[in-house]
Chains A and B, each alone.
Chain A
């Protein structure tokens, strides 16, 4: 994929401004580590990272931020939002941070991050349980959760059930509570998840890490391996965890792995 310099759509039809919710946790003693920007997947808001990961990253001296994509969480409404608008939200927040940021995307947020990486030279990119879409993803979702998935095919909401998202280690009450707080992405963005242009090459060739779980009930292992393969890597696996790794019972393991990787590769 070549670098594209003539970008007519971006010039002539700029994405409209919207209020964006950003939640943050900052370290008590800054050590000059790069800021992290967490990007939740479709239906999820910044709160999913505020639950555990933001504070944990801050406790390890990483300034940590999470954005709610437009139409999600506490951000402004955007019923017509496209993948381009979501990627724009990520780039806008990343560029507003004082230093070059590491982008961490979860679920479909990982696809949004992949698009954002083609627009913003991140220090590094991390794709957690990435949903890169395609018809295969739809087939898998229909098989696992036909009732929740079928309305999405006709422009309705995609309703993920809590057993798709969490392992059995997370108490039922907590899992149901989290699942009840989920919203939805715009219909256009849901459709684009099935058919979209492959993300362009990441600018500045940032290092990339892909991680997920072989027991994820949203992202099949083959899809995880395929996504990691796009970036010339093998995925880092956390068996026994559900799709929403940042909320699951063993949430500490993946975030520690990410921070260890950043400490080793990026922080001098």
Chain B
């Protein structure tokens, strides 16, 4: 790499070069990748701390996962929040209090669009532009190469003081490898390709997976399909959306936030579930092999109801596919026309070398607070979290911490060193008091109160005037 000064140019000058390509110097501006909920709050909080921000968004609108028009959006027509409003919204930009407790995805999108307009974020966003490469440059800076989405036009490289990666982690389908899948003659789709109930109407449907999406699709199939089997690997705790007439997460948090020990909280939650949902083995569902909080919470009031009506048949895990049928682990054979694999997503950071985020052989990055990588103080990931509540509160404070950190590095390098040491020592730590199941599903699982308390300590430590 070589550099030279071009004092004569009046263009947004390419004063730097990398491998023979011009690099446009964006000075102290921070690059944000993605204009979904995490990217938007990153831009807003960086602005609040006085940083310039350039955001690259591959689509033509804001909203990321919540914008159903986007290729990579996992939402389907009937998607509603599974965490209630106060546990979901940005803490400094509440959702309207006349909205329902669990708003529809279209309301979420309008909320994010209003957030972008309210805080005047759109002028910072380059729509229809995807990030091809992010490479370390001199002095902890980053060269970000972009091009128009779809690969048209020339690539352009700009040098930034810092990069906040907010590209989401619920868009690259995780597809399990089943024996015989290739010879199966029925239709197989991943839940990411499921958009509305017309895809299910009149068919014999097998839904695989007991995440929130799997349960939602099973409920819809129960109403629309000729037959619905719901295959789950293990027994789960199905929390209702309401308990005692109130959103169940609000009831749960009333105990959780008062520093009650985990065992007491688990016992209380089990009692609440016993009172509200009852014993699910009666319905033919397997008994959970774990305590609550040890897997990502499933919130669905309709699933048990549909099983009770006989419109969903719970079945065990898939063993193998055959030409016209699917064999389950208990030897049962079912003959679906359509198989929906609601088997989740895997994170992907194809624009970054894996070692930058400390990604191990299994694909899991090692980050402090799921945000800060080792040895790269000017790089952060926003929103890489699976909280047992809404995400927006977490990612808001996470991006405030990122903004404070970048400011502190400039203003008080001595204090910054202590934080660097902590990132180094604690990258990869889990932020959950329960022992969560080891699976890709739970790589980023956090207990929202445990995580926010840790974040509170970090925010206090990084305290700096805006």
Q: Which residues of A line the B interface, CB within 8 A?
A: 2-8, 10-17, 88, 91-92, 95-100, 119-121, 203-205
Contacts and interface: CB of A to CB of B under 8 A. Distances in A.
B15 interface: no
A143 B47 CA distance: 48
A15 B258 CA distance: 20
A11 B86 contact: yes
Given A98-B118, A100-B119, A14 B91 contact: no
B466 A14 contact: no
A205 to B, nearest CB: 4
Contacts of A12: 86, 250-251, 253-254, 257
Contacts of A11: 86-87, 250, 253, 257
A5 B459 contact: yes
Contacts of B251: 12
Given A17-B98, A88-B97, A92-B94, A6 B48 contact: no
A233 to B, nearest CB: 16
B466 A205 contact: yes
A7 B92 CA distance: 12
B122 to A, nearest CB: 12
Interface string B233-265: 000000000000000001101100110000000
Given A5-B397, A98-B117, 7 more contacts: A3-B400, A5-B452, A92-B96, A99-B117, A100-B119, A121-B119, A205-B48
A92 B48 contact: no
Contact of A6 (B117, B119, B453, B465): B453
B118 A120 contact: no
Interface in B162-201: none
Nearest to B389: A11
Contacts of B96: 92, 95-96
B91 A2 contact: no
A92 B97 contact: yes
28 contacts: A2-B459, A5-B91, A5-B397, A5-B455, A5-B456, A6-B449, A6-B452, A6-B456, A10-B86, A11-B253, A12-B250, A12-B257, A14-B85, A14-B86, A16-B97, A17-B98, A88-B97, A95-B94, A95-B96, A98-B117, A99-B120, A100-B118, A119-B91, A119-B94, A120-B93, A203-B92, A205-B48, A205-B465
A3 B466 CA distance: 13
